[in-house]
A and B are shown apart, each in its own frame.
Chain A
Amino acid sequence: MAASPQTSRPAPVTSPEADVTSAAGAHLVRKKRLFWPFLLPAIGLYVLFMVVPTVATVVLGFTSWQGAGDTPEFNGVGNFTELFASDAFLYSFLNTLLYIFVAGVGTFLLAFLFTMVLREMRGGKLVRAILFFPNIVAPVALGMFFSIIMIYRPNRQGLVNYLLESIGVDAVKFLAPENVTWVVIGCLIWASAGFYITILMAAVDRIPPYLYEDADIAGATPWQKFRNVTLPLTWDVIGVAGVLWTIGAIKIFELVFVLAGPGTYSPPIESWTLGLYVFDRSFGTAGSPEYGMACAAAVMMIALVSVLVVALRRLMRRETIQF
């Protein structure tokens, strides 16, 4: 307590203000002294487990390497020229973009729709919790589940085709290679919307209710309320959610692996994603692992995610609205 000594002492050496600053100064000094001891372990771990592997991945991307024990051999941009000449990689790259953009737009549209509805809905909290459920399930299990309900088998259809047939619609070959990418997009939207609804709703909950009441009095439609109240006031959260989505979508792997293929072997290259490509070069080859190629593809993933995230941040940059 800085104040007590002054009252007991008739002639204070320092003024109360000065005493307070010196105490704060001492605190600051102590804080400074503890700065590095607290930070170093975190930095150390981060460098060891994030920075070093990332740098190593980039370096190994320019080598031919079969894994532990083998000496990486520098081969210039050889891996990258092989990547861009390979159909498998081009399909992987395009499909990944497709998942990021098409599934991303779908997921966010669905999430926005729910934020419009859920705010005013009775039992909205319960619905929110239920919508989050698909996130708890492992994507592999989701993939197996979808592949079972989407089976096309005349006379003994999977659930979806059974329902379609029962309302007089022709069954669809969902798992045919030309359709499966769209099926995966649908599954992704279904599975991830709940997560983004949760994030966006948390932001919406922070908006003062009187703004909506005001809008109600002015006779605003739900769309106008969304457009003029919700959207501007959750803009920065949407930006962060967009970044999260991009990072998550670039890694899509399990759902495609089990939905598009037999599950034991890699699916046809037409359905590959970058994640699958990296996996296939590391563990799916019939010969020696090609970690150099896998690293080169991983570098492309890093590059893609960096470009997209920077672009997204720029696109979403607005002045934050205080409320």
Chain B
Amino acid sequence: MAAAAVLTLAGCGGGSDAGGGGGEAPLTLPGVDDYLNAPCPEVGTKPATDKEFTYWSMWTEDEPQGKVLSKAIRCFQDKTGVKVNVQWLGRKLLTQNVAPSLNTDTVPDLFDQDISQVRAAVVAAGGTQSVEDVLDYKVGEGDKTVRDVVPASFYDMPQAKQDDGALFSVPYEILGNAWWYNKDLFPDLKPPQTMDDLFALFDKAKADGMAAIAQDGDINFYNAYFFTQIAARYVGPGGLSEAAQDKTGQAWKTEPGFAKAAALVERMGDGGYFIDGWDASKFPQVQQRWADGEAAFLFVGSWGPSETREYLNKQGGDKGISYGSFQFPTPSDAPHKIVEQLPIGFSVTKKAAHPEAAKAFIAYVLNKDILSGIPAVADNLTPRPDLAVPDSLKDVKAALEDDSAERAIFMDGLDGLAAGKWVDNVFYPLNNDLLKGNISAQQFIDGLAAKQAEFWKAAG
């Protein structure tokens, strides 16, 4: 039971393994100790006056990202003499700690989370300040600035900006998502180019006596990925979010792309591709079944390998998975090639007492020798293209750095709309029904339009 609770808590939104172990096929990740014992790099831009700052962290101290940031804090204190008052609060810090503090004078100077959550919980309440200036801070590698080492595609997007257009988040970890498979089971697999290719892969898996898709159906937003991924290819980045804010709900009907996307999801639901029991499961049971080889494909974020590797590790086996992944193909009649990402970054509060030190720390974390801990220790991706990544994440990294694709953020940010009430009341119930084959694509679109009109009317 305890193990189940821990696994559940690992959740997503940057979930990761327990550190120590983990790694490629042989279940070990080299370089953890090397990283933690390596000497501290120099600080590029030092704070001139601040002698301390407060950081509220989305991680816990003993998880891999916590270890990486602990080292960053230790090094920053050593090199600058600035004291970092850190509180390891965990994933729910925005709604449980940061947002409630905004009306008081006890705010943290620095905090972190993915941009969708920061935007919904803190930016919407006007609680952040611009971190645009951090882009010109030096990272401690000669004259290189943040702007020089982080490509604009990871931060220059409307969802990372305040209403006044200023940046509120500087990313240090990037989540991507993908269809995952085990290369040992599918050595000759070629990433599908069309939706028909994708369905052919599913059909082949079924013919081989395997379930096609493993899906933890009790997590609503995992279920939402299919429709939002495909629909974004029809309507482009921001299109879903715009439709969701239409007070009449008619936008779902007037844009034919949504119906087409829904039809493809209906095809997934009706095809019997999902593993038996996916709709009566408890996360992370179904992704574990995928790891055990009961299903061919798993669609989750870039945390997939680290979570399943942790599971296999605990099972005591000696064989890991040779992780391969590919992106959703672009439907032949869809105009947008999309890659979804979700940056996790640092933000500085509007009322921060020590913004200068907090901003200097942000730049310092982006130093190559500090940031390399994110892939090396935490098995996750960073916004720096020059850092090596584990084999399991190479396909996702390539997808994220593909210049021919347009960037969208996970679910087009729908999960933060109306503080999450929109997805809970309008989208998730209908989407779950569509995926389970309880309703048709047309009923789904009609339902969205009707429920959404009701929803915005009630919201006033």
Please choose the segment from A19-27, A67-75, A97-105, A313-321 that sits at the chain B interface, where 4 or more of its residues have CB less than 8 A away: A67-75
- Which one of A78, A85, A144, A153 contacts B285 once the chains associate, using CB atoms below 8 Å? A153
Q: Restricting to B119-136, which residues have a CB under 8 Å from any CB of A?
A: 120-121, 124-125
Distance between Cα atoms of A249 and B8 in the complex (Å): 27
Residue-wise interface mask of A (161-183) relative to B, using a CB-CB cutoff of 8 A (1 in contact, 0 not): 00000000000011111010000
- Which one of A141, A268, A269, A289 contacts B1 once the chains associate, using CB atoms below 8 Å? A141
Chain A contacts of B457 at CB under 8 A? 85
The answer, yes or no, to whether A288 is at the interface (CB within 8 Å) is yes
Q: Restricting to A167-219, which residues have a CB under 8 Å from any CB of B?
A: 173-177, 179
**Residues A144 and B4 in contact in the complex (CB < 8 Å), given A175-B218, A175-B280:** yes
Residue-wise interface mask of B (104-127) relative to A, using a CB-CB cutoff of 8 A (1 in contact, 0 not): 100000000000110011001100
**Residues A85 and B454 in contact in the complex (CB < 8 Å), given A265-B219, A283-B95, A285-B420:** yes
B102 nearest in chain A by CB position: A69
Q: Are A286 and B95 in contact (CB under 8 A)?
A: yes
**Residues A269 and B279 in contact in the complex (CB < 8 Å), given A153-B285, A175-B218:** no
Chief secondary structure at chain B's binding surface: helix
A84 nearest in chain B by CB position: B458
- Which one of A69, A144, A153 contacts B277 once the chains associate, using CB atoms below 8 Å? A153
Chain B contacts of A85 at CB under 8 A? 454, 457-458
Chain B contacts of A283 at CB under 8 A? 92, 95-96
Chain A contacts of B415 at CB under 8 A? 286
A172 nearest in chain B by CB position: B280
How many A-B Cβ pairs are below 8 Å? 140
Q: Are B5 and A287 in contact (CB under 8 A)?
A: no
**Residues A173 and B121 in contact in the complex (CB < 8 Å), given A141-B1, A285-B419, A289-B99:** no
B5 nearest in chain A by CB position: A144
Q: Are A87 and B425 in contact (CB under 8 A)?
A: yes
**Residues A173 and B279 in contact in the complex (CB < 8 Å), given A265-B220, A268-B428:** yes
Interface size on A, residues (CB 8 A): 47
The answer, yes or no, to whether B183 is at the interface (CB within 8 Å) is no
Q: Restricting to A27-53, which residues have a CB under 8 Å from any CB of B?
A: none
Chain B contacts of A270 at CB under 8 A? 429
Q: Are A86 and B4 in contact (CB under 8 A)?
A: no
- Which one of A175, A267, A280, A287 contacts B416 once the chains associate, using CB atoms below 8 Å? A287
Chain A contacts of B418 at CB under 8 A? 287
Q: Restricting to A48-103, which residues have a CB under 8 Å from any CB of B?
A: 66-70, 78, 81-82, 85-88
Q: Are B4 and A264 in contact (CB under 8 A)?
A: no
Q: Restricting to A282-310, which residues have a CB under 8 Å from any CB of B?
A: 283-290
Q: Are B4 and A288 in contact (CB under 8 A)?
A: no
Chain B contacts of A290 at CB under 8 A? 419
The answer, yes or no, to whether A5 is at the interface (CB within 8 Å) is no
**Residues A145 and B416 in contact in the complex (CB < 8 Å), given A87-B429, A153-B281:** no
**Residues A175 and B5 in contact in the complex (CB < 8 Å), given A269-B424, A287-B121, A288-B124:** no
- Can you list 12 A-B pairs, Cβ within 8 angstroms, ordered by A? A67-B99, A141-B1, A151-B282, A153-B281, A173-B280, A174-B280, A175-B218, A262-B219, A268-B429, A283-B92, A288-B419, A289-B99
Chain A residues within 8 Å of B, Cβ to Cβ: 66-70, 78, 81-82, 85-88, 141, 144-145, 147-148, 151-155, 173-177, 179, 261-270, 280, 283-290
Which 3 pairs between the two chains have the least Cβ-Cβ distance? A69-B103, A287-B419, A85-B458
